[in-house]
Structure 1
């Protein structure tokens, strides 16, 4: 039997409150994300995909660390971090935001949660936003406290996730709207529950506020989900690429700006409030971008797994970009990818070549997301 101690690089990599439970439920391998272990293998990744889109999966995403911002100036400080206008954000609401640096580069694309008038969580992807926020606060002149609280989220995702939540919390949970949060308890376990998730499916995130109760919470959810076919799982590369969802450090990094990604809607350059990168983003908007993110359908044999290097994209022998995330979609029966290409070639229908490990393969630029572009599934 696999033991939790069989995995490890030393004490410098943290284990989540659910680590032992995931090993007990069949986690075979982990990767490191935000200085923590995250389960990446519960068996066949295609079966994990089908479990997600047909039933429900429970994922340990405690690696989504929370950067907590509190204090009298919390709202003003949080606005300074992002180009998205937060002036109408209500208590109990979540928003997808970008965090930019002075050059307009993206440092992260987290979910922002507003727990109270002056209480925010930034639920981050893979980057040290805690250090960034603390550094910005030092010379901001604002009265804020920036820390990482004892909070560890789980993702319950899939079409039957609502049934599982109803079994756990009763009928009132069905009133929770998309991108809203609620403070709750489950048999005394303190939680924040939100209608969010990194899957493009109907889903919930349960933010555990007491790391000592992780094993207990995991088992309660799995027991409640058993009649609905719940399975332990991991975030699905197949589904998130189908949905056009970014993976920070892969599809975007510090040298990527929002306009290259077509995320103009997350940038409000006309609001009165100032934010880091405002002047740079104005220049980028006015001057235009030299590259753009696109979707690709790649011909040839089905990919055996996601790419682990950036594959060059060429046209007439010239390199015009790179594939950032690629995978085979068993539902679409296509190799699909997110890519960054020269703006001159970012046209739907353009045919390019991808320099894959086995040799060049033809690909066509297509719209993204590849599936459910209006996100009707997640918002249902």
Structure 2
């Protein structure tokens, strides 16, 4: 007989301000990200995917911890962290950035929010950038203050998310631009709302600025959104892989550089401002990379779920790379994946093999993203 025991939670792992609400609303499984529990299971992941792409879902992503950098030298310090040119980042804007180490490897890929002339947030992927930034500040000779504020984001994603936002705020946010942000108040609950998210669908992130009001905020959003089709959910591996969106520690880490991932647009080696990893990235660009990230379509029946380990990619039986993320897309009716392979094997149409736990399957290198909502059509092979 199947066990009905409730999941166990340790006191050493942090809980989000929305933790109890997610349990009430059906969260069945959690994982740990940035030293905090994150809901990963609200039932059928395919149903979660369809809710995301047809209606709207609300996700607890408080694990996206914020590093706040403030002070007279905050802008100069933030630029030191990233190879992306921030000279045109205005107050009220966000940018997707990379944080690089001395050897050009990627330490994190946060969304950067500029809340004031001297106040920034880094909305983090899974790594300890707070400690990295605080350590750099010790010897940087800059006037900055770096800490983790009481800020916990929710993601409201899907085509009906704008209608849900309107039900909550009226017309106050109707002109919020893509990658824009605004500080607002919802019945006494302080928030920063940005038009961002990890789904490649229309969506918003609501950054709660008072952790004691997490339960109230969740219930307000669900009460306003349920009549519009809103459901509790979790970030969708299916949708993000369709979009070719990267997951830190899966598709990249500190041993991966931006050029291998095709993220050249996030690197400005010609700007005058110094940043960590600049010399290394100049050398890598001059020498060229030895591997590249590619999209794969994997032969055979639908994968039972996303991969939980890295799978070896082979050519004629010889290892040539690593599959980092894989899933079956019910919309495309294909097994799709992201992989890092040697440049000699990265050309579109190249046939490869993937060593999976249940055996070896054939695969083809195809374009990314696999699905582009701007054209409302798949971009992979027919």
Query: TM (normalized to structure 2)?
Result: 0.96
Q: Quick one: structure 1 residues 234 and 310, their matched pair in 2 at CA, closer, same or farther if it must change by over 3 Å?
A: same
Residues 1:266 and 2:266 are matched in the alignment: yes
Distance 2:146 2:29 in 1: 33
Give 1:367's aligned residue. Answer: 367
| CA-to-aligned-CA distance 1:339-379 (integer Å, 9 cap, x gap) | 000011110111101111111101000111111176989xx
Distance 2:8 2:125 in 1: 22
Distance 1:344 1:211 in 2: 50
Q: Quick one: structure 1 residues 206 and 375, their matched pair in 2 at CA, closer, same or farther if it must change by over 3 Å?
A: farther
- Compute the displacement of 1:174 (Å): 1.4
| CA-to-aligned-CA distance 1:87-143 (integer Å, 9 cap, x gap) | 010000000000000000000001000000000000000000001100111100001
Give 1:289's aligned residue. Answer: 289
Give 1:89's aligned residue. Answer: 89
Query: Mind listing any 5+ residue stretches in structure 2 that lack a counterpart?
Result: 378-382
RMSD (Å) for aligned C-alpha atoms: 1.3
Give 2:156's aligned residue. Answer: 156
Give 1:236's aligned residue. Answer: 236
| Correspondence list, 1:197-208, <5 A | 197-208=197-208
Give 1:61's aligned residue. Answer: 61
| Correspondence list, 1:163-182, <5 A | 163-182=163-182
SS of 1:302's equivalent? Answer: coil
Distance 2:204 2:375 in 1: 15
Give 1:41's aligned residue. Answer: 41
- Compute the displacement of 1:283 (Å): 0.2
Distance 2:271 2:258 in 1: 17
Contact kept in structure 2, 1:200 and 1:375, CA below 8 Å = no
Give 2:28's aligned residue. Answer: 28
The count of aligned residue pairs is 373
Distance 2:376 2:76 in 1: 33
- Compute the displacement of 1:295 (Å): 0.3
Q: Quick one: structure 1 residues 374 and 320, their matched pair in 2 at CA, closer, same or farther if it must change by over 3 Å?
A: farther
Query: Mind listing any 5+ residue stretches in structure 1 that lack a counterpart?
Result: none
Give 1:342's aligned residue. Answer: 342
